[in-house]
Amino acid sequence: MAHIINLIVWDGINEHSVCIARVRNAVKYVKNSPARLQRFKDLVQKLNINCKLSLSLDVPTRWNSTYLMLETALKYQRVFGGFNLPDGDNVPPNELPPNADDWKMVGRLVVFLEGFYLITRRISGSLYVTSNKGFFEIASVCDMLKKWEKNPEKEFKNMAISMKTKYNKYWGDVKKMNMMIYMAVVLDPHSKLTVLELTLTDLYDKEKGEELASNVKIFAYSLFDEYRAMYSYPQSGPINNDQHQDQEDVRLGETMNYVQSLKERAKRLKGSGGNMRSEFERYLNEVLGEDEEGLDALTWWRLNAHRYPIVSRMARDILAIPLSLCCIGIAFSAGVDISIHLGVL
């Protein structure tokens, strides 16, 4: 997932190579000389710029470093404007000092890249559950690109269109996604099927969104049946064979009175297959209390596992799946093929 976001962002960054190169050259010019760096710091104080960040030069193969370089340089825009940067007819266009249009473009680019930067950091986390957030991160990327496609500035509109093309290549056909991406959402007590269906409807049209949500629901119940078969007691298993059902009814009639037979049959329906099926339905239909809204998914399941013994086992297995197995640095790298490092769902 981090790898796909990486590819999408690079398609966008390449649309703004000139303004990025000019800022990079300006930062390099200042940092390459201790004397120039000191003059730069003196000018920062003279202009009363309240920023303690140091200028950073990016690694061209890691777009996060490019984002951080642009973000920091933007804070010192007035300083660069008053600094004597190389200029003239002999200077290549990409190495000219950034002009007002360049800075304006960089400002918009920083806003644009910030969303992808935060998403990549979130999905690369290792100290919290990520699988239940994966689908929403995919949806948020789509939402960002849709908004920027409507941008009145041609440069950013073209950039969003280019990135959306790459997005569609990997995530455009939601039917091809691994169902576990959706199951992690369903097993998040704050989301479940309702939020999933709303998100699918936002991503696509209402008809397609409802169809996909229905497919997820069918898969979810099917998966629940598998877990029920693995973890329920043999006597509590589902009774689907009509002949076996009839034989059981006869046995009950022979050994107990009619009323007791009815009670046992009702208990079997509610306490075995019917109840085990309703366990998942109860989970899906239960509304969180106010005191539960602030609980993370794992804490909620720790407190409620005894109420949903089978569904909690599903949650234990599926929520444990990380979106990414790579370190945060590799997640941003375009210099190597990082797909082998990723645990992409």
Nearest to 126 by CA among 267, 317, 266, 320: 320
What pLDDT sits at residue 329? 65
Cα–Cα dist 50/73, whole Å: 13
**Between the CA of residue 134 and those of 39, 41, 111, 120, 315, what are the distances in Å?**
46, 42, 22, 11, 15
pLDDT along the chain (345 residues), means of 10: 84 85 92 92 91 88 90 93 82 86 91 88 82 89 88 84 87 80 93 90 84 90 92 54 48 50 50 59 90 89 94 94 72 52 39
**What pLDDT score was predicted for residue 251?**
47
Question: Residue 343: its pLDDT value, please?
Answer: 40
- Looking at the whole model, is its pTM more than 0.75? no
